[in-house]
Amino acid sequence: MGRFLIVPALVAAFLLFPLNARAEDAAGQDRDDIVLKGAERVHPYLWHGAGVAGMGGLLLILGVTFNALADREYDTYRDMLTDERIAAAINAGEKKETYLTRVNDHLDEGKEYAATRTALYISGGILALTGSVLMLLTEEKKDDTTKFTASFDGRGVYAAMSISF
């Protein structure tokens, strides 16, 4: 069971400990001057990314649940194959075919739970990673204000208006 918790642990570590990369020039000095001074940076997809990452986290938790269900079915399968359980079933008058059918049903259910668990881990990890990337994306804040200018040259008044969208 512990080996299947590696994927959620790695995703949690990625989400909780973000990587801090800084651009440096050849002399090893920080290159913060690459970003225009005075330009405000915004995260336009912050909440979209949080939603996607949250959904990925829920799928990872659901994968852990299916992992526990698969382990329970496999444990039941192994317990039913012990000599004591087989002898108890024979003494109770159960036929060999029906007992083997019940044993194999537990194995099949365990395999189905394991396949579902794997699909949930993969999709949850991908969604968590995608959401994290979306949250990290930045862009410069756009100036959406309307600019209006008026000028007078002695003969008349001139008005100009610019709109950016």
**Beta carbons of 84 and 114 less than 8 angstroms apart:** no
CA 48, CA 35: separation in Å to the nearest integer? 25
Q: List the alpha helices (DSSP H) in 3-136.
A: 6-16, 46-80, 83-91, 96-136
- Decide if pLDDT at 147 tops 50: yes
Query: How many structural domains does the chain have?
Result: 1
Residue 4: count other Cβ atoms within 10 Å of its Cβ: 18
Question: Is residue 65 assigned to a domain?
Answer: yes
**Beta carbons of 147 and 162 less than 8 angstroms apart:** yes
Q: Compute the mean pLDDT over every residue in the chain, rounded to the nearest whole number.
A: 81
Question: Is residue 7 assigned to a domain?
Answer: yes
Query: pLDDT class for 10, splitting at 50, 70, 90?
Result: low
- Decide if pLDDT at 34 tops 50: no
Full-model pTM: 0.61
Residue 66: count other Cβ atoms within 10 Å of its Cβ: 20
Question: Is residue 25 assigned to a domain?
Answer: no
**DSSP assignment of 27-58:** TS-B-GGGSPTTPPEE-TTHHHHHHHHHHHHH
pLDDT, mean of residues 15-25? 47
**Beta carbons of 21 and 101 less than 8 angstroms apart:** no
- Least confident residue range of 18-22, 47-51, 64-68: 18-22
Question: Is residue 41 assigned to a domain?
Answer: yes
CA 142, CA 17: separation in Å to the nearest integer? 30
- Which residue segment(s) compose the domain that 135 sits in? 2-20+30-162
Question: Is residue 111 assigned to a domain?
Answer: yes
- According to DSSP, the residues that pair with 160 across neighbouring strands are 149
